Amino acid sequence: MSGLRCLAFRALAAVLISGPWLALAWGEPLSDSLPSSRGSGSVAESAPAPPATEAACCGDPDVPSYGTKIDFGSLPSGQEVTTQFRSLGVLFGHGGSSSAAATYVYPDGSRPPCPTRLVLSAAPHYSGWEFFLFVDPAQAKWATVDKVGASVGYCDAAHSCFLAAYDVDGNLVGIDRNPDPGFAFLSVQSSYHNISCVLIGDCAAGQPTCTPDPSGSATNCVTFSTPTSIARSLPPPSSVPMPTAPLPAPMTGSTGQVLLAAILIVSGIWGVAFARRRARA
């Protein structure tokens, strides 16, 4: 009997020791071993882990569907995403424009397993901006939608991530930014049904009125209304220009308040001086 107990104890110890390695070999890697878009040394470092309902999973109630929803966890890790979803009326990365960053299916350890942590990430991972455009599935024609959205994150600070929508001429239709750190469902809707292409990303360092995102972001759960073909030929990717990057978010918080106060003070002083000069004249 003692021999059986010893054998059982050894088997249990082997399972406990090798369990993590079995998980790596047989399933998705543990989140601690994955690269992550959640920053270190930022607001996100001290923030609690995101709950499963924080717009991080395609099934979350905060991630609606506008008709079509794409979960990139259905594709193998490392695969470049270009024309795989042409039948749905959308082209990603180099499939739409040679000037865009290449986009890949990539793991993000900051997301909960829902059921995987695979997302869409433009190169360089977490720092590149994801680009896609709408197209007629059957012919080389532009298409437009009136609604588009996606789960974006991990956003390390408020207003550090964005989703910008453009018309066929590259004019900005609308932009949405995350209100808080974490994952956010960002979207743009247009009553003119004129959204033709989209940029998703995070704010880069060096933009004076934008909060930089230390570790970047990634995208999943891209959703949009049914694309409608328009009478505008879609050129080959080598001839499709990238839209202009959106303007940074307005300053918020103490920095913006101080600058506004300084402007008001200077304006007041200038006004008083101007009034005195007129009185003397």
pLDDT of residue 189: 98
User: Which residue is listed with tokens 């008083």?
Assistant: 272
Q: Is 36 exposed, middle or buried (0-12, 13-18, 19+ CB in 10 A)?
A: buried
Confidence category of residue 14, pLDDT binned at 50, 70, 90: very low
The answer to whether residues 162 and 246 touch, using CB atoms and an 8 Å cutoff, is yes
Classify 246 as helix, strand or coil. coil
Angle at 220 between CA 44 and CA 227, to 5 degrees: 140
Cα pseudo-dihedral 193, 199, 201, 206, rounded to 10:
-120
What's the CA gap between 169 and 166, in Å, rounded? 8
Residue 278: inside a domain = no
Confidence category of residue 96, pLDDT binned at 50, 70, 90: very high
For residues 88 and 158, membership in a common domain is answered with yes
For residues 157 and 102, membership in a common domain is answered with yes
Helix, strand, coil percent content, the chain, rounded in steps of 5: 25, 25, 45
Tokens at 189, concatenated: 């809707």
What average pLDDT does range 126-135 have in this prediction? Answer: 94
Mode of pairing for the β-strands spanning 182-189 and 172-177: unpaired
Q: What is the CATH number of the domain that holds 134?
A: 2.60.120
Q: Tell me the per-residue pLDDT of 45-85, one tens digit each, with 9 for 90 and over.
A: 344 454 444 799 999 999 999 999 999 988 999 999 999 99
**pLDDT higher than threshold 60 for residue 120:** yes
For residue 115, cis peptide bond before it (omega within 30 degrees of 0): yes
Tokens at 232, concatenated: 């505008």
For residues 96 and 227, membership in a common domain is answered with yes
Residue 77: inside a domain = yes
pLDDT of residue 126: 85
Domain span holding position 105:
34-253
Of the listed ranges 14-23, 106-115, 133-142, 217-226, the least confidently predicted one is 14-23
Total number of domains constituting the chain:
2
Residue 271: inside a domain = no
- Of 91, 92, 93, 100, nearest to 242 by C-alpha is 100
Q: Tell me the per-residue pLDDT of 188-218, one tens digit each, with 9 for 90 and over.
A: 999 999 999 999 998 765 555 566 777 789 9
Of the listed ranges 13-17, 164-168, 199-203, 216-220, the least confidently predicted one is 13-17
Number of helices (H) and strands (E), helices first, in the chain?
A: 3, 13
Q: Tell me the per-residue pLDDT of 246-269, one tens digit each, with 9 for 90 and over.
A: 766 554 444 444 433 443 343 444
What's the CA gap between 22 and 190, in Å, rounded? 49
